[in-house]
Chain A
């Protein structure tokens, strides 16, 4: 199939301009985070700092418990991700390979929660977390996120591609569910598990709405909450520090994405919406 160059070239230009617009903020943050404040104000359009400095990063680490904040973010993201993966895997296995009463209606109920706005559940959830004394604790952030509808959906899509004959053969050999999961299903859906896990880790790392309700004191903050403190001073002197904190907040998700992008794009493009 031939496409005329005169059609393709303008579209290449449109795509490249779009990508420049989308990626410019990242480059802007990176450049500004190594600038002195004076340089940042006088040479806004220069991406490259005149006198590169680590001052902004040092300021962040001196003015806030930055190490603790980074660890909080890491703990919340890892614990929530591991639990979500396990619960989604088990549930998806049941939905794909087992027969039970109320299966369709249950699946429908779980998946339709994707379309319920968080405001509908936020007050009762806050009351539960405060009732068990977990307000201002990372565990209060983690607890409601131990299961996930999107995870069940993605893993179910992936498990559906496993040939049924494999599972049937295992069943005839009287192999138990635990071993079928570990030795047959898990190796076959590993790419989906990996990319779903990375997606969970990154979305929890970036999460803002629920942590902002639960976490009250600076030493319990996550990176997005710490970063939010720098916006209040519009035009103030914290601009370059805010850029440094932005870079710290995005570096882990971006690194993970760049390493695993083939897996991730593969999972989102092969799962389809059915």
Chain B
């Protein structure tokens, strides 16, 4: 954190005054709920009865011994894999290409690719449900010309996750792309120019110069692709499949919602949410551990 602070400690009460509105909102709607969810995970409750029954670790054991949990956990990892390829690896490549190879239409490409990020994912879900309708949608018609039959994706394991990931990516892609582009664009031109003069091939420039020098942003995008991507997927799941068929499209986030607001099992929902968050933190920690050595922090 840069230390541009001009005003000294004796004025710190003024700082707290400026922070109070933020702190009140965060305490009531973020920090307290966070602790209360941990508390709820040890109780059996349905949001309606006046008393909660303390059950210790039973909710965690229930969740871990439920077969569906493993199916949903598996789905969650498949979602993560799809989202990482479409929203982390491809935008990285696109950002590199736009910055180094494409000189014309640069501004147009940026604004067009970023545009869907501003549209509601409910709109996206509705539009793609029609566009990808396996019988009468435009994609099915065009595939039909080539004699290809479109799978009934909303009813098939695997396919349903792929399509819901694609719909989500339609919205998420542009933001990740813009952030990565900014980072690559900020790399000193001299290093890249020098490499170009030495006839270093483009793929080597990508792996040996651009990737290491933008890795702090790369990690940020990697993390939000997982953490926010899984939350974004919630909308198409809720709008299109409600987790079906038979939990085939549910993920850890959607299932926690389902447990709480459809089945009214707050204990299960809370336990699942806490475990999901722990998995997120483990992923983040692993990621930092593995790539830490190779990181070049911009500025």
Contact = CB atoms under 8 A, between A and B. Distances in A.
A168 B14 CA distance: 17
B127 A29 contact: yes
A268 interface: yes
B284 interface: yes
Interface of B: 1-2, 4-9, 11-12, 14-16, 18-19, 21-22, 24-26, 28-34, 36-37, 40, 47, 94, 97-98, 100-105, 109-116, 118-131, 133, 136-138, 141-142, 170, 173-175, 178-179, 181-183, 185-186, 192-193, 196, 202, 216-217, 220, 223-224, 227, 230-231, 234-235, 238-240, 253, 256-257, 260-261, 266, 269-270, 272-274, 276-277, 280, 284, 297-299
26 contacts: A12-B102, A15-B97, A15-B102, A24-B131, A26-B119, A28-B130, A29-B123, A45-B142, A87-B25, A90-B22, A93-B18, A94-B15, A97-B5, A98-B11, A98-B18, A117-B273, A125-B29, A147-B22, A206-B121, A227-B123, A227-B126, A231-B126, A243-B127, A246-B127, A269-B179, A273-B220
A273 B239 contact: no
A177 B130 CA distance: 55
Q: What 9 pairs across the A-B complex have the smallest Cβ distances?
A: A124-B33, A100-B12, A269-B182, A206-B120, A147-B25, A121-B33, A144-B29, A119-B256, A98-B15
Given A98-B7, A167-B6, A249 B21 contact: no
A273 B183 contact: yes
A254 B266 contact: no
Contacts of B32: 124
Contacts of A45: 138, 141-142
A119 B4 contact: no
A101 B14 CA distance: 12
Chain A facing B: main interface SS: helix
Interface of A: 1, 3, 7-8, 11-12, 15, 18-19, 22-26, 28-29, 32, 41, 44-45, 86-88, 90-91, 93-94, 96-101, 103-104, 106-107, 109-110, 113-128, 143-144, 146-147, 152, 160, 164, 167-168, 171, 177, 202, 205-206, 208-209, 212-213, 223-225, 227-228, 230-231, 234-235, 239, 242-243, 246, 249-250, 253-254, 256-257, 261, 264-265, 268-274
